[in-house]
Structure formats: C-alpha cells, structure tokens
Chains A and B, each alone.
Chain A
Amino acid sequence: MSRSLLLGFVSYALLLMGIATVRGEFIALALPFVLYLLAGFLFSPDEVKLEATRHLSIERASPNADVVVTVTVTNLGSHLEEVLLDDALPADLTIRPSTSSGQRFGHSRHLIRLPKGDSYTFAYTVAGPRGGYGFESVRVKVNDHLRMTGREVQIEAKGQLFVFPPVTRLRHVAISPRRTRVYAGTIPARVGGTGTEFFGVREYQQGDSPRVINWRISAHHAQADVLYSNEFQQERVADVGIILDGRMRTNEFARGHSLFEYSVQASAALTDALLTQGNRVGLLVYAAFLRWTLPGYGKVQREKILHSLAHARPGGSQVFSDFQHLPTRLFPPESQIILVSPLHEDDLTPLVQLRAQGYQALVVSPNPVKFELSYLPKNKNVELASRVIQMERALTLQKVRRASIQVLDWDVAEPFDLLVKRMLSRPPAWLRAVGR
C-alpha cells in the first residue's frame, strides 16, 4: 500500500469517525495526518524531466583493466528534493574501489537533491572479464521530501564496453595451404616465380636477371648452348579459417575450471599474426550455436574477430555436440583451417573428413589432462587416472597426425607464443639453406 493511500485512508477514517460520533477529538487526531498529506502533495515535483550522458574512459579494454564510467544527470524539469540515481551495471562487471581522492568516486548509486537546471556528475571504476557489455540507462527514483508521491523513470544513457581477450604477439606462423590467393604475402605458394626460397631450375627466358642464371647447370649443358635460370617459390597470402571450439563437453571441467579462455587467447593470437602477415582470415565459433565472422583482411577484420571473440561463450547443444555439423562450405576450398580445440576422441572422423575434402588442417589443442592435473590433488589415484587419460589422448593425437593433420599439443602452463615459436616458426634462412 502506498504511503499517501494509507495516510488518506487514516485521515478520512478519523474524520468520518468524528462526524459519526460527534466527537471533536477524532477530528483533532486527524489534523496532523491531513497536514502531513497536504505538505507532501504541496512539495511534490510537478514535472520530472531528466537527461543523462555517459562517458567511458576507454571503450576497448583488456580483461580486468580499470575503466572509469562517468555519468552526468541534468535536471531540465522542476526542483527535485530527493533523487535516487542507480546506474545498473551489466552482469559480470564489478565496481572497483577507486584510488582517486576525488569525490563521488566508486559508487554507481547516489541519493541526491537536484535543483532545477542543475547537473550532477558521478563516476565509478569497473572491471570485468572478457565480453561485450552494454550500458543502457540510469534508473531514477524521484520522491518529494515526505515520499507522498514517488516516480520511477529510466533515463537513456547508452555506452558500450568491449573487453577483448589478451592478444599475444606471435612473430611468424608458418602454414602451407594447398591453394593461395593472388596477392603477394608470406606463404609459400608452390609456384615458381619471384621470391626468396629456391624452387627449381628452368630454361633461361628473356628478361631473366643474370643474377638468377644457374651457371653450374648451364655449364653442364654447354654443348646444347642453353642457359638455365634458378626459379624461386612465390609467396602469397592465403585464406585461413579459424574454428574455435566452444563446446561445453570439451572445455568445461569440474569445480568451474574451463579451458575455453586459453582457446580464445590462442585464437586471438593466431588471428593477429595471420592478419599481420596479410592473409584473409575468418572465424567460426562452434558452441551452442555458430557464430561466423566472414573472412577479410587487415585491421578492420582484426577488430571484427576480436569483437566476436569478446562475445564468445562456451555452450552445449545436441546439434553441435560433435564436429559432424561443421559447415565446411563456409571456408574456401583447399584453404588452411586452424581448429583450436581440446579435442575429443569423437572428433577424429570429422577431422579426417575435413582433410579428405582438401583442406590443410592444423589443430591447436590445449591439453585438458595437464590442465586438470594442475588443480587436482596429487595422489596415486589421480596419477594413475592421468596416465591412462594421457595415453588415450596421445593415441587420439597420433591418429590425427596420421591423417596428415599438424597438431600442436599445448600445455597451457607454457606461454602460447613459445609453443608457436617452437612448432610453427619458419627456420632461419641459413638453416633452410643447409636443408634442416
């Protein structure tokens, strides 16, 4: 029951009692309530007209980085005696105690008095895990000083914050898809032409630089009066499709531990490296539903993929519980596919099919056994179980490798860039020259 209704009921009841019993005492008893009611209505605000603006210190942040949200509320209506401003935070964002000595810091809820034409600014610091967060509105409760009339309004004050996964810089990611695109890049195209890697020898053609003439072979065939030129392997850009496995069954473990964040970090690092090399990269998040980012080049594409990774969440679904429904047609034929997944033994067949369709596949697999071992108690049972599961996993990975699929078994305790440097980096030129 509202306060004004309760007081109105009490006042009228006492007045009627007074009339009915012809007793002035009841009227006297009613007078303070009538006066209270009147004072409440008299000072209630006529018009609630508020405007709010929001400013975020940064709109793209790294996980758990401090972001200062500043909200300014301006009163364009009548004088407001009691205003409760409550800026609802998106889920997962938390308010950090601010170290600033400035006033009005560190709280998203304020109780204030807002005279006509005045503004009130408050700020607070938030931080949160990877994700996309939308600030929509500020909830405002306006009361007169006796709370006879109360109004609740939502003032629009939009803002967006993207917390991107941390992007590890990788120096070089060596991939070798069967088909490359026409533009020059860094991926060996298996076609002779200009480049740095030796590809073969062919008959001298007009226009060839004397520097590329292979004098040794030409000398061997001196009688034929023919010169031979060295040919180099062309280096071009390629189409790369990154598949991020977000299935609950492969990523989630007991006690709320998850490998998914590592998979996201690996995807972000690979995206950054491959786009920097000039390739056309697309991303497919395979979780409760499919989230597809069309392939593209450059910084804009990097931004798009990071947005997609920011929103990526692990999920379970009957349809996408295995890779049988992987939409391979999304990827250009014979392109490079990088699957980032802890892998399950059921994934072997779809992977082999992928390879059979002509895709060059690379699997980056965060090791779930070592990950689980890192937080489980050390005892004989755990050790025995881990050995059995590790053997099962080794067997699965071996089968995958036999299908000519490169596998990077990643112990997440090791930084991802070190693993890539060891497994995917291009050997230096002098080492390549000696055939190692």
Chain B
Amino acid sequence: MIMTIIAMILSIILGTAALAYGYSQAGLTDPARRFVLLGIVWLLAHWRKQYWVSSVAFFLTLLGAGYGVWNGFTTIWMLLGALGGLLGWDLSDFARRLSYAAPTDDVQGMERRHLERVGIVAMLGFGLAILSLYIRINRLAFEVAVGLVLLAALGLTRLVMRLRKY
C-alpha cells in the first residue's frame, strides 16, 4: 500500500501547494496559508482514518480553484490544484479500500494498475485542459458556444449509455 500512500501524499501536496502558490501570487497570503493548513489537516485526517475529511477537502480545493479562476488568478495553478485535489480524493478512497485486503492478496498488482489508470486519466485531463486554454476560436458567437456545450453534454450522455451496454 506504500505506493498508493506516497502517490496520495504527493497529490495532496501538489493540489494544496499549487492553490497556495496561485493565491499568494495574487497577493492573498492568508488564504494561501489556509490551503497549506488544509493539506496538513487532510493528511492527518487520513492518518487518523477519518476518511470523510477527504471528500470535504476535495470540495474545498475545488471551491478554491473555482474562486481563483473567477478572480482571474493564474489558471494553471488553479488547474493543478483541482487536479491534485481529485487525485488526493481518489487515492485516499483507494487506500481505504486496500486496507480491507488480506496480507496475502495481490495488493501491489492492484495498486500498480490503479495508479496507471488514474495517472493516464489525470494526464489526459490535464493535457486537454491545457489545450483548451491555448486553443481559442475568436469568431464564435455565444449562442453557438452554448449550443456546442449542450450538444457535447448530450453526446457524452449518449456515449456513456452506449458504452455501458457493452
């Protein structure tokens, strides 16, 4: 389970440190300190097996990232904060599930596969997000954009429904 724990600690540090750095860059040092504190509390709570704290902390990092984007802080740090929060939340839950395994179970294999998949999803998500930040279509009316988003949502829903059949 060590791999998962290390990955989780790194993710939480990445998420909260990125948010703290983004906020401190914008001159908000008090909230930046609070993000560092949030990271410490999150880690301590996991150590004390208070797993519900993970969901709360994830939600708080998301709120922080959303607020930062709203106020125009550096998007990359906010994005890394949200991604770190997502990974920390996922790995904290996975570590809890692994604690149910018997010592003779193939925990290492499960860890390896999970970390690979979560890593790929996170990398792809991050890559897509970065791409979407840099690729801009200036001559697109707002109505068209709304229509495209709705179409994308509909398409995603249908895709998920189709994929679940197989």
Evaluate contact between B113 and A145: CB separation under 8 angstroms.
yes
Nearest 10 pairs of A and B residues by beta carbon = A32-B125, A107-B102, A111-B101, A28-B129, A35-B125, A28-B132, A31-B129, A25-B69, A31-B128, A41-B160
Q: How far is the CA of A22 from the CA of B62 in the complex (A)?
A: 19
Evaluate contact between A29 and B104: CB separation under 8 angstroms.
no
Which residues of A have CB within 8 Å of B114?
145
Q: How far is the CB of A160 from chain B (nearest CB, A)?
A: 25
Which residues of B have CB within 8 Å of A26?
66, 69
Which residues of B have CB within 8 Å of A86?
100
Q: How far is the CA of A52 from the CA of B114 in the complex (A)?
A: 26
Q: Mind listing 18 A-B residue pairs with CB under 8 Å?
A: A12-B153, A19-B146, A22-B142, A24-B133, A26-B69, A29-B82, A29-B129, A32-B126, A42-B163, A84-B97, A106-B104, A107-B102, A109-B100, A110-B102, A110-B105, A111-B97, A111-B100, A111-B101
How many of B's residues come within 8 Å of A, CB to CB?
Answer: 55
- For residues 318 through 373 of chain A, which have their beta carbon under 8 Å from a beta carbon of chain B? none
Which residues of A have CB within 8 Å of B55?
1, 6
Evaluate contact between A44 and B164: CB separation under 8 angstroms.
yes
Select the residue from B102, B129, B159 with max chain A CB neighbours within 10 A.
B102
Q: How far is the CA of A408 from the CA of B110 in the complex (A)?
A: 64
Select the residue from A3, A103, A146 with max chain B CB neighbours within 10 A.
A146
The stretch that binds A, out of B31-39, B42-50, B115-123, is B115-123
Q: How far is the CB of A1 from chain B (nearest CB, A)?
A: 8
Say whether A23 faces chain B, with CB atoms less than 8 Å apart. Answer: yes
Q: How far is the CB of B128 from chain A (nearest CB, A)?
A: 5
How many of A's residues come within 8 Å of B, CB to CB?
Answer: 51
A120 — nearest CB in chain B belongs to which residue?
A: B105
| With A26-B69, A46-B165 as contacts: A38 and B145 at CB distance below 8 Å | no
Evaluate contact between A104 and B102: CB separation under 8 angstroms.
yes
Q: How far is the CB of A238 from chain B (nearest CB, A)?
A: 55
Residues of A in contact with B (beta carbons under 8 Å apart): 1, 3, 6, 10, 12, 14-15, 17-19, 21-29, 31-36, 38-39, 41-44, 46, 81-82, 84, 86, 103-107, 109-113, 122, 143, 145-147
Which residues of B have CB within 8 Å of A103?
104
Residues of B in contact with A (beta carbons under 8 Å apart): 55, 59, 62, 65-66, 69-70, 75, 78-79, 82-83, 86, 90, 93-94, 97-98, 100-107, 109-110, 113-114, 117-118, 121-122, 124-126, 128-130, 132-133, 136, 142, 145-146, 149, 153, 156, 159-160, 163-166
Evaluate contact between B166 and A46: CB separation under 8 angstroms.
yes
| With A22-B145, A84-B97, A111-B102 as contacts: A32 and B82 at CB distance below 8 Å | yes
Q: How far is the CB of A391 from chain B (nearest CB, A)?
A: 58
Other CB < 8 Å A-B pairs besides A110-B105, A143-B97, 9 of them?
A19-B145, A27-B149, A32-B128, A32-B129, A33-B82, A33-B125, A39-B121, A111-B97, A146-B117
Q: How far is the CA of A363 from the CA of B118 in the complex (A)?
A: 73
Evaluate contact between A21 and B70: CB separation under 8 angstroms.
yes
Which residues of B have CB within 8 Å of A17?
66, 70
Evaluate contact between B102 and A31: CB separation under 8 angstroms.
no
Evaluate contact between A19 and B97: CB separation under 8 angstroms.
no
Q: How far is the CB of B115 from chain A (nearest CB, A)?
A: 10
Q: How far is the CA of A17 from the CA of B70 in the complex (A)?
A: 9
Evaluate contact between A146 and B90: CB separation under 8 angstroms.
yes
Which residues of A have CB within 8 Å of B130?
28
Which residues of A have CB within 8 Å of B110?
82, 111, 113
Select the residue from B69, B75, B146 with max chain A CB neighbours within 10 A.
B69
| With A28-B75, A112-B106, A113-B110 as contacts: A41 and B133 at CB distance below 8 Å | no
Select the residue from B59, B114, B121 with max chain A CB neighbours within 10 A.
B121
Q: How far is the CB of B97 from chain A (nearest CB, A)?
A: 7
Q: How far is the CB of A68 from chain B (nearest CB, A)?
A: 15
Q: How far is the CB of A424 from chain B (nearest CB, A)?
A: 52
Q: How far is the CB of A78 from chain B (nearest CB, A)?
A: 9
Q: How far is the CA of A33 from the CA of B125 in the complex (A)?
A: 7
Which residues of B have CB within 8 Å of A24?
132-133, 136
Which residues of A have CB within 8 Å of B102?
104, 106-107, 109-111, 122
Which residues of A have CB within 8 Å of B132?
24, 27-28, 31
Which residues of B have CB within 8 Å of A28?
75, 79, 129-130, 132-133
Q: How far is the CA of A21 from the CA of B149 in the complex (A)?
A: 14
Which residues of A have CB within 8 Å of B86?
32-33, 36
Which residues of A have CB within 8 Å of B133?
24-25, 28
Evaluate contact between B145 and A110: CB separation under 8 angstroms.
no
Which residues of B have CB within 8 Å of A12?
153
| With A14-B66, A29-B66, A146-B90 as contacts: A111 and B105 at CB distance below 8 Å | yes
Q: How far is the CA of A39 from the CA of B107 in the complex (A)?
A: 22
